[in-house]
Amino acid sequence: MELSEKDPTDDNEKDSTNKNSNWSCSLIVASLVGAFGSSFLYGYNLSVVNAPTPYIKAFYNESWERRHGQPIDADTLRLLWSMTVSIFAIGGLVGTLMVKPIGKVLGRKYTLLVNNGFAIAAALLMACSLWAGALEMLIVGRFIMGVDGGIALSVLPMYLSEISPKEIRGSLGQVTAIFICIGVFIGQLLGLPELLGKESTWPYLFGVIVVPALVQLVSLPFLPESPRYLLFEKHDEAGAVKGQGRPRKNFPGDGGLGDSVKADVFLPMETFIYKYGCHSIWFYTNSIFETAGIPPEKIPYITLSTGGIETLAAIFSGLVIEHLGRRPLLIGGFGLMALFFGIVTVTLTLQNRAIWIPYLSIVCILAIIASFCSGPGGIPFILTGEFFQQSQRPAAFIVAGTVNWLSNFAVGLLFPFIQKSLRPYCFAVFLSVSICVAGAVYFYFVLPETKNRTQAEISQAFAKRNKASPPEEKIDPVVTDDKANGKAKPDSACTLDNDTKSRIV
C-alpha cells in the first residue's frame, strides 16, 4: 500500500468539516429532548426541596399533631426531613438496578419513554400531598422520583454515547451535566418567594415535574433508537444503518477490547464517590448560607446565583472539552475543589471577625460549584460510556450508579446532623479524608486522555500508562452467543478494522 504526502492544512480543514457535519439536526434534537425529560428532572429535584423547607416542615408538624395530638419533637422532625431528602437517593439506587433488565428488552429510547411514567406518578403524589394531608405521599413521591432519576442517569449517557460520533462525543456527553445544572437553576428560580416558594403554592413546585416528562413522552418516539443497541444487541443491521444514516463499513465498531479497562472499573466509581461533598450544597443551600451569617431575606437570591454559576461552568466545559480533553478538566476540578473547601472551612470559622468574611464564604461556595461542574460533575458520565464495550456498558453504569446513589443517600441523610455537630467544620469532613486531593492524584497517574479515541486506542493507552501488556482482541459476548445459536452476525474485529481504515470512528 502506497502512502501519498498530504498537506497538513488540508487535513485540518477536513477534520473541521467532519466535526461540523457530525452535528446533525436529529442528533441535536435527540440529545436536547432526552436530557430535558431526564437529567433536567434529576437536577430539578436536587434543588426543589430547598426553598420550601420551612413550609414542608410546618406541614409535617401539622400532620403529626393532627394524628398524635401533640407537636412533633425537633429530632423526629429532623429525621423525617432528612428521610424526605435522602430517600430520593434510595429510589435512584432502585432505578439504577432496573436499568439492565428493562434496557435489554426496551432499548435506550423506549426505556426513557417508559421512565416518564415514574416522573408523572411522582409529581401527582407530591403535588397532592398537602391537600390530602398525608406527609407519606411526599416521601413516597420523592422515592418514585428517585427511581426516575436512577434510570435516567444511566440510560441517557449510554444513549448519547451510542448516537454520537467520537469527534463530538465529549461535547454531546456534557449535555447530561448541562441539563442537570439547568434543572438545579430552574428549581431555585421557581422556589423564589415571588414565584412558587410560598406557603400556599409550594406543592406546585412538584407539579411542574410533569411538563418535561410530557414533552419527552410526546417527542422522543419520533427520534432514532441507538444504532449500537440495534446492531449489537438486537442484531437489526438494517435498522441500525437507517438510524445512523451511513454505510455499514462506517458504523462505529465495538472492537471487543473492553477487557483492558475491567481492572479500572473503580475509576468511574471513585469519581462518583468524590463528587458528593458538593451535593450537600445543593440539598442544604439555605442552611449553609444561614450558617455563613447571610441575612435570611437575601438567602434565596444568593442561592439562585449558585444555579447560575454551575450552569455557566457546565456550558463552558461542554465548549472546551474537545479542545482541552477530559484529563485537565477532571484533575483541575478536583484540585480547585480541595483548595476552596479548605478556604470555606476557615471563613466559616472566622465569620464573626469581620463583616466581609461571610461574603468571602459565598465566593468560595460558588467557586466549589464552578470547579465541580466544569469537570467532575459531568465527565464521569462520558468516561463510563467510553471505557466499556456495548455488552459491558449497562453493568458499568449500574456499578457507577450504585456508588453514586449510595453516596447521595449518605450525604442527604447525615449532613444535617454533621452540620449541627460540627458547624463551621462540616466541609472539613470531605477535605480531611483528602477526597478531592486523592481524586486529582489518582486520575493524574491512572487516567489516559480519551478525547477523540476509539475503544481500541483507549485500551492501548491504559496498557501503556499502567505498563501492562496490550489486551488481546476478543469477540463481543453478544456476537459469540449468536454464533453459538447458528446466527451469522457482523464480526466486531472486522468492524474495528474497517473503522480504523475509514478513519471515521
User: In this structure, is residue 234 part of a structural domain?
Assistant: no
State mean pLDDT over 28-47.
91
- Residue with grid cell 430517600, as numbered in its chain: 87
Domain span at 50 = 29-223+255-389+392-474
Closest to 252 measured CA to CA, from 177, 321, 169:
169
Q: What is the pLDDT of residue 55?
A: 92
User: In this structure, is residue 123 part of a structural domain?
Assistant: yes
For residues 79-89, one letter each, b for 16 or more C-beta atoms within 10 angstroms of the residue's C-beta and e for the rest, the string is: ebbbbbbbbbb
Within 10 Å of residue 207's Cβ, how many Cβ atoms?
Answer: 15
User: In this structure, is residue 451 part of a structural domain?
Assistant: yes
Closest to 482 measured CA to CA, from 248, 252, 232:
232
8 versus 462: which is more confidently predicted? 462
User: In this structure, is residue 24 part of a structural domain?
Assistant: no
Q: Is the pLDDT of residue 415 over 70?
A: no
- Residue with grid cell 465495538, as numbered in its chain: 254
Q: What is the CATH number of the domain that holds 111?
A: 1.20.1250.20
Which amino acid is residue 310, in one-letter code?
E
Q: What is the pLDDT of residue 141?
A: 95
User: In this structure, is residue 343 part of a structural domain?
Assistant: yes
User: In this structure, is residue 241 part of a structural domain?
Assistant: no
Give how far the C-alpha of residue 36 lies from the chain's centroid of Cα atoms, to the nearest Å.
13
Q: What is the pLDDT of residue 242?
A: 66
DSSP type of residue 230: I
Q: Is the pLDDT of residue 471 over 80?
A: no
pLDDT averaged over every residue in the chain: 76
pLDDT tens-digit readout, 194-245: 898 888 899 999 999 999 999 999 998 888 888 887 887 777 777 776 665 5
State mean pLDDT over 310-339.
89
User: In this structure, is residue 19 part of a structural domain?
Assistant: no
Q: What is the dihedral of CA 411, 413, 415, 420, to 10 degrees?
A: -170
Q: How many domains does the chain have?
A: 1
The radius of gyration of the chain's CA atoms, rounded to the nearest angstrom, is: 24
Which amino acid is residue 360, in one-letter code?
L
pLDDT tens-digit readout, 77-90: 888 888 888 889 88
State mean pLDDT over 98-116.
90
Q: What is the DSSP string of 98-147?
A: HHHHHHHHHHHHHHHHHHHHHHHHHHHHHHHHHHHT-HHHHHHHHHHHHH
13 versus 195: which is more confidently predicted? 195
Closest to 31 measured CA to CA, from 165, 185, 220:
220
Q: What percent of the chain has pLDDT over 70?
A: 72
Q: Is the pLDDT of residue 175 over 80?
A: yes
CB 440 within 8 A of CB 335: yes
- Residue with grid cell 456495548, as numbered in its chain: 390
Helices 210-219 + 39-47 axis angle, to 10 = 180
For 257, counting Cβ atoms within 10 Å of its Cβ (0-12 exposed, 13-18 middle, 19+ buried), the class is buried
pLDDT tens-digit readout, 134-153: 889 999 999 999 999 999 99
Q: Is the pLDDT of residue 292 over 50?
A: yes
Q: What is the pLDDT of residue 115?
A: 95
User: In this structure, is residue 172 part of a structural domain?
Assistant: yes
State mean pLDDT over 30-49.
91
426 versus 108: which is more confidently predicted? 108
Q: What is the dihedral of CA 314, 461, 164, 106, to 10 degrees?
A: -100
Give residues with Cβ within 8 angstroms of 123, minimum separation 6.
141, 145, 206, 207, 208, 209, 210, 213
